[in-house]
Amino acid sequence: MLDSIDPKSAIPIYQQITVQIRRGVAAGMLVPGDQLPSVRELAAQLLVNPNTVARVYRELEREGLLETRRGQGTFISAKAEVLADSERGRLIEEQLREVAKDVWGFGLTEEAALELFRNVLADCTRTRKERR
C-alpha cells in the first residue's frame, strides 16, 4: 500500500494517493490508530510533491478518515471504522457504475445484466470455498 504512483496516468496524483488510503481502510489494511508517514516522508517515498501529500491528508482529515495529533503525526481516526463500511459500499458502487455504462452501451437488458452478475458472484464464491 502507498507505494505505487503512476505519473503517466490520467488520474491526478493526489487522487491516486487518496484512493490508496481509502482502499487500505476499506480492506482493513489500515485500522484506527495506525500512524501514517509524515508528509515529508511520504513525499520522499513516493517521489511526489509534498504539497500534494499535504492536500491528501487535509482532505481526508476533513472527511474524518484521518486525524492529526499535534506533535505526534497523522493517524487513522477512530471514526474510520464506521466510514469503512460506507467506503466499501462506495468503492463497489463506483466500479459497478462503470459496468453499468457498458450494459447500457451494449444494449443489454437489466435482467440479463443481473443474471450475469449473479453468475459471476456464484463463481467467485465457489472458487473461494475450494481454496479453503
Partner 1 sequence: MSENSHAIVTDGLTKRFGRMRALDQVSAHVPRGSIYGLMGPNGAGKTTFIRCLLNLLNPTCGTGTVLGYDVVRDSVAIRQRVGHVAALQPLWDWMSVEEFGAFMAGCYPRWNREAVSTVLDRIGMDRQAKLGMLSRGQRAVVSIAVAIGHDPEMLLLDEALTGLDPIARREVLREVIEAMHEEGRTVFITGQDIADMERICDHVGFLIKGRLAVESPLDDLKARVKRIRVEHPAGDAPELPAGTREVARNPRETVFAVIDYSSELLRSLDAPGQRVAVDDLSLEDIFMILAQPQTESSE
Query: Shortest approach of partner 1 to residue 106 CB, angstroms?
Result: 11
Residue number, 13 or 65, with CB nearest to partner 1: 13
Phi-psi region at 37: left, alpha or beta (left = phi > 0; alpha = psi -120 to 50): beta
Give 3 or 130: the residue with its C-beta nearer to partner 1: 3
What's the DSSP call for residue 30? Answer: S
- Nearest-approach distance from CB 98 to partner 1, in angstroms: 10
- Nearest residue (CB) to partner 1, 39 versus 83: 39
The distance of closest approach from Cβ of residue 17 to partner 1 in the complex, given in angstroms and rounded to an integer, is 12
Retrieve residue 49's grid coordinates.
510533491
Minimum distance from residue 38 beta carbon to partner 1 (Å): 10
Beta strands at 66-69 and 73-76: parallel, antiparallel or unpaired? antiparallel
List contacts with partner 1 (CB under 8 A). 5, 7-14, 40, 43-44, 47-52, 101, 104-105
Distance CA 39, CA 74 (A): 9
Question: Beta partners for 75?
Answer: 35, 67
